[in-house]
Structure 1
């Protein structure tokens, strides 16, 4: 379908795991230049858990995980018989779950589906995991949309397109070995977008998702030398997009949105939740098994599924956890509008995680504001990541903070918005630019305060702090509401106990 000249089109560029405070003239000169061309969202936030395969579905659905249902990079599917462990890095498993659920992997339509219903198209180019790439438009094949992975040929929805790209750019890059930055695929996908996908396929919306600096942050630290080198690499690739946009795209009414799906903090101590729960009489494992009564999902995000999720068992587990020095904010099913069913816990709906797939107990590892070896604020415990390396998934403000810059004819230039915003606002804003009504189930909002049109008023803002405590444990959750949209500012445990 040919796109009429002058009709708005949008390119969204995601920098996986980029902390906004790493953006600057020395580290990311091209992103810094984009700031002068558009509006910087100074209070942009991601969703909880602050994980890629939770945030990207929120990006394309305009809803938090409690609504779209992708509640973690990994989760236990108890709707299956028997219950099975789901790792959403596996695109084939995602497709199997979607098929088994009658096409309801997500509880709401994603951006690709909405665009298709209005005769528009979405192209995805991503170097993230196969599963993360799939989640950006998981029905792309049936919609006739184009998805290109930077590594996995099976993800590409068009064999002829892949063959054309490989003829032009060389073979699809193979994933780098563990401990090596992922650089080649970023340049492959940038060239694919600029040389073929955008000018020839003319999608209404394109998502270009770089897997760096997230990979290097995990391996070398949030601001390690090799992480900054990887960040410079993807900023250079983005610079190619920016140069085209400044010389050609902007005049053709192309809008450019740069974002990140989450931030990072630095590991300073190791935790052992299995040992804590075992001492409380609970037999733990990473997946269902004959001798397992408590599934603790592996990774930085704390998700605990009990074989017998009685209130008594949940209270017993939480009581043991809040005595541990590593336990940060903790959430269970609601007893009322604030409290969870276990003393010391908050209701999980406060972090917009009340879903049938959600764990019986959600927790974050305790974080703090100590300065890491790179001079960055933000430290945490971890159950498996090396000390000194970057992690994410929790509620520290530096994990929740994400990059947000919008630029184009519809937006102001060289401006900073201090009004809270979030990753769920991207889809409503994109639809608004295209003249498509925002579905009433989207919980994000249109970022009208960034628009160049005069007369747009300041939206109403209300901040709320939730506190719950026991004699030995206290947690705080701070949220802010802008009109009907809610954003999580951060969560802390044992503050001022």
Structure 2
């Protein structure tokens, strides 16, 4: 059994219709759709790609934001997930382990199997799908082949298909087409155990032109054309070779409406603010719709003062801090069994959203969002603190429209024409593939690790026996309903709420908001 995993960066699932994306719509109708699929928080690409390829949440793998400052790596420069040089610098600082849990490439290699990754978004995001450069795995960046490896294999693909497009255009229709060409000509004839094909659209178009813009819709149609080509290959020959198709998006988008200057507001509140702490500032701020900050000397009292100032601002939607109490051995199912508040009064414990890791910032915040419709009538708008401009797509927070993501399975291993209505997330995709090949023992444990989605499998009992798991236990787990939780905390006039679904000791956040 082999797998081809197709990634559609940033795709907002509700926009998938037969008119806009006929090939994907047909595949969804014929395959198995995860109807409650969610992105990991922060709902950002450079968080969710590591979540995908490790089968673990950020609390397990350590990529806690698209951008974050870790003085152990660099006292002045933040980690940025699109930057190969910064990824390599962080890897060296972490003694060669960028992630604190094994990657899919490593797990496959340990069993004598192989991964190939082709990706048309940033070179950094390609590397984040396979960061171990010495592993026997292909990592091909369409737009930066010089950052790809192994060099000889990359060159052989280019020799066969022709040079990839450079520089990248927006929307990146040509890059996606070249990647499909490369797969069909150079990868499909001799498939590895797992192939990842990651398309940068429609994320690029959403960010630059807006979610409902004509350009974004054109980008969706273009990437659907590539899916049609891949499905045609699969139906002609891949399915007979026991190839399973998986289609996912890493997050969705809402529309940003107005920029605020959070650094200026913090300075007005009496703090010194910089991009780092090396020159003695009170706060090192990583701004954004979803942002984070460190405080000088990691001082708890200073962090509490900063959090109090944030919660006084009308523009702040949610605030998270470190844990106030030791972790429970299991995720409590009843809200009254949970200590929702973080170590700072009024904030949420960052464990509730899966980002409690030594690399996590002192405070993580989300600017205010709402259910207000944007200029295209799509629900979900927010404030922002970035240079993208008003009226375009953004992601990172906990509005339901940006959390919900796409996941579709198709092939002999999966139920046909089905919708799974239990809670699933990005961390569950790889565990499902591993379980189908008898490697469930490699999955990270709860609450950090994901779980196999037995509910999506055509024969979960057979998969259970393959992994030496009692099929009756799996049947009981599948039949068990999700537990719904709504948690609140706050101080003064600031109150925030968090909605979660609990399944198999794993929490899936479905919404977060300021009340």
Provide the residue aligned with 2:352 in structure 1: 350
8 Å CA contact 1:10, 1:206 repeated in 2: yes
3-state SS of paired residue (1:419): strand
2:485 matched to 1:483? no
8 Å CA contact 1:460, 1:483 repeated in 2: no
Provide the residue aligned with 2:84 in structure 1: 91
Provide the residue aligned with 2:153 in structure 1: 161
Distance 2:235 2:29 in 1: 12
Give the TM-score, by structure 1 length: 0.94
8 Å CA contact 2:486, 2:500 repeated in 1: yes
8 Å CA contact 2:31, 2:408 repeated in 1: yes
Provide the residue aligned with 1:249 in structure 2: 238
Bigger shift: residues 287-296 or 129-138: 287-296
Distance 2:457 2:310 in 1: 46
Tell me by how many angstroms 1:440 deviates.
5.0
Tell me by how many angstroms 1:267 deviates.
0.9
3-state SS of paired residue (2:351): helix
With over 3 angstroms needed to count, the CA separation of the structure-2 counterparts of 1:281 and 1:57, relative to structure 1, is same
3-state SS of paired residue (2:512): strand
Tell me by how many angstroms 1:36 deviates.
2.1
Tell me by how many angstroms 1:293 deviates.
2.5
| 2:164 counterpart (163, 172, 193) | 172
Provide the residue aligned with 1:371 in structure 2: 373
Equivalent positions of 1:393-404 (< 5 A) are 393-404=396-407
2:118 matched to 1:125? yes
Tell me by how many angstroms 1:181 deviates.
1.1
Tell me by how many angstroms 1:191 deviates.
1.0
Equivalent positions of 1:191-210 (< 5 A) are 191-200=181-190, 202-210=191-199
3-state SS of paired residue (1:231): helix
| 2:513 counterpart (477, 483, 492) | 492
Equivalent positions of 1:226-237 (< 5 A) are 226-237=215-226
Q: Deviations over 1:150-204 (max 9, x none)?
A: 1002222133333333333322211336xx311211111111111111213x210
3-state SS of paired residue (1:151): coil
Distance 1:176 1:79 in 2: 33
Bigger shift: residues 353-362 or 159-168: 159-168
Bigger shift: residues 76-85 or 144-153: 76-85
3-state SS of paired residue (2:48): helix
Tell me by how many angstroms 1:22 deviates.
1.0
Provide the residue aligned with 2:426 in structure 1: 423
8 Å CA contact 2:32, 2:408 repeated in 1: yes
8 Å CA contact 1:85, 1:288 repeated in 2: no
Bigger shift: residues 107-116 or 147-156: 147-156
Provide the residue aligned with 1:4 in structure 2: none
Q: Deviations over 1:431-455 (max 9, x none)?
A: 1122213325242111110111277
Distance 2:107 2:366 in 1: 34
Distance 1:485 1:189 in 2: 35
3-state SS of paired residue (1:43): strand
With over 3 angstroms needed to count, the CA separation of the structure-2 counterparts of 1:404 and 1:270, relative to structure 1, is same
Distance 1:387 1:83 in 2: 29
Distance 2:31 2:207 in 1: 30
Provide the residue aligned with 1:464 in structure 2: 485
Superposition RMSD on alpha carbons, in Å?
1.6
2:252 matched to 1:263? yes
Stretches of 4+ moved more than 4 A in 1? none
2:440 matched to 1:437? yes
Bigger shift: residues 436-445 or 410-419: 436-445
Q: Deviations over 1:95-126 (max 9, x none)?
A: 22212322221111010000000000000000
Tell me by how many angstroms 1:291 deviates.
5.5
Unaligned runs of 5+ in 1: 1-7
2:381 matched to 1:392? no
8 Å CA contact 2:422, 2:481 repeated in 1: no
Give the TM-score, by structure 2 length: 0.91
Tell me by how many angstroms 1:298 deviates.
3.6
| 2:456 counterpart (450, 453, 477) | 450
2:274 matched to 1:285? yes
| 2:44 counterpart (25, 38, 51) | 51
8 Å CA contact 2:55, 2:426 repeated in 1: yes
Equivalent positions of 1:142-153 (< 5 A) are 142-153=134-145
Bigger shift: residues 377-386 or 287-296: 287-296
2:7 matched to 1:14? yes
Distance 2:309 2:287 in 1: 19
With over 3 angstroms needed to count, the CA separation of the structure-2 counterparts of 1:132 and 1:81, relative to structure 1, is closer
8 Å CA contact 2:251, 2:395 repeated in 1: yes
8 Å CA contact 1:71, 1:353 repeated in 2: yes
8 Å CA contact 2:107, 2:442 repeated in 1: no
